[in-house]
Amino acid sequence: MLGVVGLASAITSCEACGGTQVLAPEPTASTPAIAAFAGPIEGTITFGARPALHEGLGTDENAMPARHVDLTLIDATGSPVASGQTDEEGRFAFAPTAGAVSLGITARVRVGAIDVSTSRVPDGAHSHAVVVPLEELASRGGRIHFADTDGEMAGALHITDTLLRGSRALERWTGHALPPVFAYWGRGVTVEWSFFRGEIPAGSGRYCLELLGGPLGEQSTTDTDEHDEGIILHELGHFVMNRLAGDSSIGGRHPPGALVDPGVAWEEGRATWFAMAVLAEEQPDREVMYRDTVGIVPTGSTRIDEDVERPSTPRGLGSERSVAGVLWDLTDGDVADPRAVDAVDRDGDGVALGAARVLAAMSTAYDEPGSFVALPGFLRHLHRVQVISETEIAAMLRASGEDAALLPISDESSPWPIELALATPTSGLVDGLSDPSPSGAPAKPDNGIDAVRVHRVVLDRAGTLVVTLAIEGTGTASDHTDLDLQLWTRRAEPMASAEGPLARHELRRAVEAGTYIVMVRDAGTGNRARYTLEARLEP
């Protein structure tokens, strides 16, 4: 184990002050005087990364360079005297620096327009960091290695490096750089789930992914995500799509085997696609396995172990596995694109657009007036803008075993969203009660494909939008007909709702011209009811 000192009290990365803030440890009567280091200050920093295997995280660790991480030379009072970074190989060298006694290493990378880091605090105010005495650095021949068994630093550096890799891939494909993004992660700290949290703090311009750290001291048997590169990049993928290609998801859990609202399936599936595309560019001949490990071999397992080239069931509309698989089939193969690295096409689907073109098409699909995209709408968009023909898409779907119904011939025949014309009542059925549900998957009242009905209304002028919902039943839990009415923006942002045990709901909201999403949903307790929905614009 490295002889690190006072990591919490000695060095923190302070985004608010624009750089690294060094805090001296509190002196005590027994603290000996520390002599300034006189030798050359150079070396290499590496960390241990566990591979994600079918049986869980591997026991062996791959040594990876800590690339471009922030470094600070510190004097005996705890004050910074010089700063720098490692290079692409994890190497560093400082000119002789008077008064330097230790080296601070922070899990933050700032290279070009990229700014990524990993923090143990929810607002990202300071990043994971350690301080290494220069005498110890010299005694180790300038080599600093953080083993995963030594504590959190290896995991923090692995997360930060994975975010760097994903950010670089995005720059290659689009020329765009993301705003600063940090991962909130720590063992015994982040124990809920892994997800994209958004801008934290609000108005800061910094964005947060929360990643599972798992219970303290239980890494060998519990779900932790610091070494699951697919999971890290999946959450980064949510951020990428949010910035470049809109959002169609109403949120909620999406366990394997569920058929969820197609907007949820779209966002979750394309985040997985992004992760696999990044990893495949680094190793084009690798299997495209999306894994979420639980524990370390031999007591480990996997929560998700999915071959994106050959998705498991259920598939079709509402399946995030189908979304990831179809997007992967659009991407892999011999790509005529200098920005892309060819990924092996193992199922011979006959289409090879490359990640850059697929991501660009996601952006143009969102930019279409009135769009609220899921997989069928995206495939129609590809055909409409002549990226690929309908015949090629249909052949690809057959080759990969997908339902041809994912490619409706026209927008009018699309199963999602349902068009809601003004002053024209429409009827439907919400079913979050039947198990298995009408789609064949388990009942999922919160966001299952049968438990949510998504309608789109397009307004050509401003006014007051009035939406009424009439439920066949009491509208209460007593006969399982409790439904909610919700109004959302085209970016899946909630605007208004009408809830409660009533047989009739009404929403009134002043709106501008544009596209709005009206949802009729199971109230979350398991309900099944037919309904009639109507929208009008006043005056």
d(CA 516, CA 460): 11
Q: Is residue 476 part of a domain?
A: yes
Q: Is residue 22 part of a domain?
A: yes
The reported pLDDT for the residue numbered 475 is 97
3-state SS class at 308: coil
The reported pLDDT for the residue numbered 255 is 87
Containing H/E element for 367? helix 355-367
Q: Is residue 375 domain-shared with residue 427, that is, in the same domain?
A: no
Which amino acid belongs to residue 156?
A: A
Tokens for 238?
């949510």
The reported pLDDT for the residue numbered 93 is 95
Phi, psi of 163 (to 5 degrees): -65, -35
d(CA 244, CA 236): 12
- Enumerate helices (H) and strands (E) in the chain, giving the number of each: 9, 27
The reported pLDDT for the residue numbered 96 is 80
Q: Is residue 357 domain-shared with residue 471, that is, in the same domain?
A: no
Q: What is the 3-state secondary structure (H, E, C) of 94-113?
A: ECCCCCEEEEEEEEEEEECC
Containing H/E element for 243? helix 229-244
- How many independent structural domains does the chain possess? 3
Please provide the size of the chain in residues.
Answer: 539
DSSP result, 26-69: PP-TTPPP-PPP-S-EEEEEEEEE--EETTEE-SS-EEEE-TTE
d(CA 75, CA 89): 26
| Half-sphere exposure (Cβ direction) of 505: Cα atoms closer than 13 Å | 31
Last residue of a domain, one of 143, 174, 205: 174
CB 141 within 8 A of CB 42: no
Q: Is residue 442 domain-shared with residue 511, that is, in the same domain?
A: yes
Query: What global pTM score does this model have?
Result: 0.91
Please enumerate in sequence order all residues whose Cβ is within 8 A of that of 145, keeping only pairs 6 or more positions apart, or say none.
45, 46, 47, 48, 63
Phi, psi of 413 (to 5 degrees): -95, 5
Q: Is residue 386 domain-shared with residue 444, that is, in the same domain?
A: no
Q: 362: domain CATH number?
A: 1.10.390
| C-beta pairs of 369-373 under 8 Å, 24+ apart in sequence | 369/515, 370/456, 370/458, 370/490, 370/515, 371/246, 371/490, 371/515, 372/248, 372/263, 372/417, 372/454, 372/456, 372/490, 372/515, 372/517, 373/245, 373/246, 373/248, 373/266
Q: Is residue 211 part of a domain?
A: no
d(CA 405, CA 415): 9
Q: Is residue 239 part of a domain?
A: no
Q: 464: domain CATH number?
A: 2.60.120.380
Q: Is residue 48 domain-shared with residue 123, that is, in the same domain?
A: yes
Q: Is residue 136 domain-shared with residue 51, that is, in the same domain?
A: yes
**Which residues form the domain of 96?**
7-174
Tokens for 448?
């299952």
Distance of CA 54 to the CA centre of its chain: 22
Number of neighbouring beta carbons within 10 Å of residue 440: 12
| C-beta pairs of 82-89 under 8 Å, 24+ apart in sequence | 83/19, 83/20, 85/109, 85/110, 85/111, 86/44, 86/45, 89/44, 89/65
Q: What sections of 175-213 are H helices per DSSP? A: none
Q: Is residue 62 part of a domain?
A: yes
The reported pLDDT for the residue numbered 341 is 55
The reported pLDDT for the residue numbered 327 is 96
Tokens 């068009």 correspond to 419
In 451-513, beta strands by DSSP E: 452-459, 463-471, 483-488, 494-498, 504-511
The reported pLDDT for the residue numbered 4 is 38
Which amino acid belongs to residue 74?
A: I
Q: Is residue 69 part of a domain?
A: yes
The reported pLDDT for the residue numbered 39 is 64
The reported pLDDT for the residue numbered 315 is 92
Using CB atoms within 10 A of its CB, is residue 106 exposed (0-12), middle (13-18) or buried (19+)? buried
The reported pLDDT for the residue numbered 345 is 74
Tokens for 310?
């050959």
Which amino acid belongs to residue 302?
A: T
CB 145 within 8 A of CB 46: yes
Last residue of a domain, one of 413, 446, 462: 413
CB 239 within 8 A of CB 181: yes
Q: Is residue 203 part of a domain?
A: no
Q: Is residue 207 part of a domain?
A: no
Tokens 């303290």 correspond to 216
Q: Is residue 41 domain-shared with residue 130, that is, in the same domain?
A: yes
Phi, psi of 104 (to 5 degrees): -90, 135
The reported pLDDT for the residue numbered 413 is 79
CA separation (Å) from 210 to 148, 346, 419, 440, 514?
20, 33, 36, 33, 33
Strand-pairing partners, residue 249, are none
Q: Is residue 374 domain-shared with residue 436, that is, in the same domain?
A: no
Q: Is residue 394 domain-shared with residue 508, that is, in the same domain?
A: no
Q: Is residue 20 domain-shared with residue 158, that is, in the same domain?
A: yes
DSSP result, 379-419: HHHHHHTTSS-HHHHHHHHHHTT--GGGS-SSGGG-SSSEE
Last residue of a domain, one of 174, 196, 226: 174
For the chain, 539 residues long, give each residue's pLDDT as a single digit of tens: 443 333 333 344 333 333 333 333 333 333 333 445 556 799 999 999 999 999 999 999 999 999 999 999 999 999 999 999 999 999 999 988 889 999 999 999 999 999 999 999 999 999 999 999 999 999 999 999 999 999 999 999 999 999 999 999 999 999 999 999 999 999 999 999 999 999 999 999 999 999 999 999 999 999 999 999 999 999 999 999 999 999 999 999 888 889 999 999 999 999 999 999 999 888 766 677 999 999 999 999 999 999 998 888 899 999 999 999 999 999 988 766 655 556 777 777 888 899 999 999 999 999 998 899 999 999 999 999 999 999 999 999 998 899 888 998 887 778 899 999 999 999 999 999 999 999 999 999 999 999 999 999 999 999 999 999 999 999 999 999 999 999 999 999 999 999 999 999 999 999 999 999 999 999 999 999 999 999 999 99
Q: Is residue 452 domain-shared with residue 361, that is, in the same domain?
A: no
Q: Is residue 13 domain-shared with residue 135, that is, in the same domain?
A: yes
The reported pLDDT for the residue numbered 38 is 59
Tokens for 415?
């199963």
